[in-house]
Amino acid sequence: MDTSVITGDITEQRTGAVIVGLFQGAEGSEGAFGAVDRALDGALKVLMDDGEIKGKKGEFTLVHTLGRILPARVLVAGLGKQDTFDAERVRITSARALRYLRGKGIADVATVLLGSGSGGLGAGVSAQSVVEGAILGLYRFDKYKSANSESNEMESLTIVEQDRLTMVEIKEGIDLGRTLADAVNLCRDVSNEPANLMTPTQLSEVALDVAREGGLDIQVLERGDMADLGMGAILGVASGSAQPPKLIILRYWGDREDESNNLGLVGKGITFDSGGISIKGATNMGAMKGDMAGGGAVIAAMGIIAKMAPKINVTAIVPATENMPGGRAQRPGDIVTTMSGKTIEIDNTDAEGRLVLSDAITYARSLGIGRIVDVATLTGAISTALGKICSGVFGSDQALVDSVVEAGSDSGERYWQLPMFDGYRDQYKSDVADLKNTGGSPAGSITGAQIIGEFADGAAWVHLDIAGTSRADSTKGYIPKGATGISVRTLARLAQILAG
């Protein structure tokens, strides 16, 4: 879809539809709504008087103009109450509006800057949110479906603004909205790809594309390299799979003068989690093709970071492997030695995320990285605790936790902090090794987090459990059914916040 901005009058656009917004309780004579109403000799006002248009949040009214003005249709989008209005509402409204119009077979749409003017958003923020919401909301994963005449594409979205002075700001907003949404959609793509096609090798190819495009350093460690580094935990998980594991490392240098000004993003890259020998049940096992959503998120976030160029060095590390039951697979009861030297008793081979993350975090520490955020579809228990409304956040450093939460709230992604206490350690004590890889079902997300934290080695460390939020069961707002691409925008924004 093309996105652009022009100066002009919304009532004079020759297009399939124009979108105008209306706040609940507004009189109806202001802004673009008022202008369109006047051009249609009060037709919108009649609908307001009839009670059909109220401006309620989520309300859409499609009016055919029947040749009275150049736009073939006007879509009036209710923006809800003005006091609760924000950029997130623009993203959601834009997503739903564009999907609705695409569903009607309309391919060219013009819109005003929703929420600027009386909504109080700046022109740049509004433009960003309109474009971000539109691209995110129109996302479909249909590349394996034969072409079908019913599924038309949206071809263009044009922002129409009267004020010439805001053009530069609007263009920058459009660019940023595109950059963010394209990256989220890349993460969605890799998570939606079936596991036979999105193998660790293929994931490393995606990272290579991101590196090429963004001018990032990339290194992909092979099984032998990992063996040389003593990464017994990753290799233990990989041992049951016929697919070679990869350790993907992407590096962005935004502050070469100060190497210690750094951030590590570590993403769980299990391209399929069968559970291994502790095999999962058949119900919904297919969703485990998305067990690399954390890895996809950090790779995609690096693409945004390369474009935004914050003054900070960022390293992404993705331990990528399948977790399969095979003749060479690790067994419950096995003991592996991690890169850190600590030994782990494998209590349950399905608790593999913490294993691959432990070696990846030790590797980050070996590079001198002092702030680490890991992102993982780690535990089913996080959905029991928090549902799908927010992701879990844990951390050894409250300032870093707060920065992540702030980055999330700037991006429309919610995180809720859970506690970590020494008392939980008893649950993952092992009789035969330094620790075991599970802590039983009570507080399963917390013990999972704490086991990872055992490898943070004094770094400021934050763990995001996205097992509940990485997939959606149905389309809502700008989140389509399937992979959500959660955390991509948070991580990119975090790099910006930490860069100051």
| Shortest Cβ 323–Zn ion spacing (Å) | 6
> What does 61 bind: ligand BES, Zn ion, none (CB cut-off 5 to 8 Å by kind)?
none
User: Does position 347 bind Zn ion by CB under 5 A?
Assistant: no
- Which residue's CB is nearer to ligand BES, number 85 or number 455? 455
Q: Which does 386 bind (CB under 5 to 8 A by kind): ligand BES, Zn ion, none?
A: none
Among 350, 359, 374, 413, the residue binding Zn ion under the rule CB under 5 A is: 350
31 or 444: whose CB is closer to ligand BES?
A: 444
Binding mask 286-305 for Zn ion (x = CB under 5 A): -----x--------------
Q: Closer CB to ligand BES, residue 100 or residue 416?
A: 416
Nearer to ligand BES, 32 or 449 (CB): 449
How deeply is 485 buried, as exposed, middle or buried, from its count of CB atoms within 10 A (0-12, 13-18, 19+)?
buried
Pick the binder of Zn ion from 37, 161, 273, 345 (CB under 5 A). 273
Q: Which of 91, 246, 354, 365 is catalytic?
A: 354
Instruction: Pick between residue 291 and residue 345 the one whose CB is nearest to Zn ion.
Output: 291
Shortest distance in whole angstroms from residue 90 CB to ligand BES: 30
- For residue 381, the partner it binds in Zn ion, ligand BES, none, with Cβ less than 5 to 8 A by kind, is ligand BES
Active-site option among 57, 223, 280, 425: 280
Residue 444's binding partner, choosing from Zn ion, ligand BES, none, with beta-carbon cut-off 5 to 8 A by kind? ligand BES
* Least Cβ distance, residue 346 to ligand BES (angstroms): 11
Site string for Zn ion, 126-165 (x = CB under 5 A): ----------------------------------------
Q: Which of Zn ion, ligand BES, none does residue 201 bind (CB under 5 to 8 Å by kind)?
A: none
- Hey, which residues does 225 pair with through a beta bridge? none
Please work out the total of residues on this chain that contact Zn ion, with binding judged by CB under 5 A.
6
CB-nearer residue toward Zn ion: 273 or 345:
273
> Which C-beta is closer to ligand BES: that of 156 or that of 383?
383
Query: Taking CB within 5 to 8 Å according to partner kind, which of ligand BES, Zn ion, none is near residue 193?
Result: none
| Interacting residues with ligand BES (CB under 6 A) | 273, 291, 348, 350-353, 377-381, 438, 444, 467
Interacting stretch for Zn ion, rule CB under 5 A, among 45-53, 192-200, 268-276, 311-319?
268-276
Q: How long a stretch of residues is the chain?
A: 500
Task: Name which of Zn ion, ligand BES, none residue 467 binds, using a CB cut-off of 5 to 8 Å depending on partner kind.
Answer: ligand BES
CB 77 within 8 A of CB 97: yes
Name the residue among 160, 9, 1, 22 with its Cα closest to residue 70: 9
User: Using CA atoms, how far apart are residues 185 and 139, in angstroms rounded to an integer?
Assistant: 7
Cα distances (angstroms) measured from residue 263 to each of 253, 441, 451: 11, 32, 21
3-state secondary structure the chain: CEEEEEECCHHHCCCCEEEEEEECCCCCCCHHHHHHHHHCCCHHHHHHHCCCCCCCCCCEEEEECCCCCCCCEEEEEEEECHHHCCHHHHHHHHHHHHHHHHHCCCCEEEECCCCEHHHCECHHHHHHHHHHHHHHHCCCCCCCCCCCCCCCCCCEEEEEECCHHHHHHHHHHHHHHHHHHHHHHHHHHHHHCCCCCCCHHHHHHHHHHHHHHHCCEEEEECHHHHHHHCCHHHHHHHCCCCCCCEEEEEEECCCCCCCCCEEEEEECEEEEECCCCCCCCCCCHHHHHHCCHHHHHHHHHHHHHHHHCCCCEEEEEEEEEEECCCCCCCCCCCEEECCCCCEEECCCCCCCHHHHHHHHHHHHHHCCCCEEEEEECCCCHHHHHHCCCCEEEEECCHHHHHHHHHHHHHHCCCEEECCCCHHHHHHHCCCCCCEECCCCCCCHHHHHHHHHHCCCCCCEEEEEECCCCCEECCCECCECCEECCCCHHHHHHHHHHHHC
Taking the complex as a whole, how short is the minimal distance between the CB of residue 467 and ligand BES, in angstroms?
Answer: 4
Q: Which region among 104-112, 212-220, 266-274, 293-301 touches Zn ion (by CB under 5 A)? A: 266-274
**Active-site residue, 388 included:** no
CB of 24 to ligand BES, least distance (A): 38
Of the pair 368, 440, the CB lying nearest ligand BES is at 440
Whether 91 sits among the annotated catalytic residues: the reply is no
CB closer to ligand BES, 107 vs 285: 285
**60, 80 Cβ separation under 8 angstroms:** no
Residue 348's binding partner among Zn ion, ligand BES, none (Cβ under 5 to 8 angstroms by kind) is ligand BES
The phi, psi pair for 77, rounded to 5°, reads -105, 120
Picked from Zn ion, ligand BES, none, the partner binding residue 465 (CB below 5 to 8 A depending on kind) is none
Taking CB under 5 A as the rule, does residue 353 contact Zn ion? Answer: yes
- Residue found under tokens 């433009």: 127
Give the shortest CB-440-to-ligand BES separation in angstroms: 8
Give least dist CB 249 to ligand BES, A.
22
CB 99 within 8 A of CB 60: no
> Residues interacting with Zn ion, by CB under 5 A?
270, 273, 291, 350, 352-353
**Residues with active-site annotation:** 280, 354
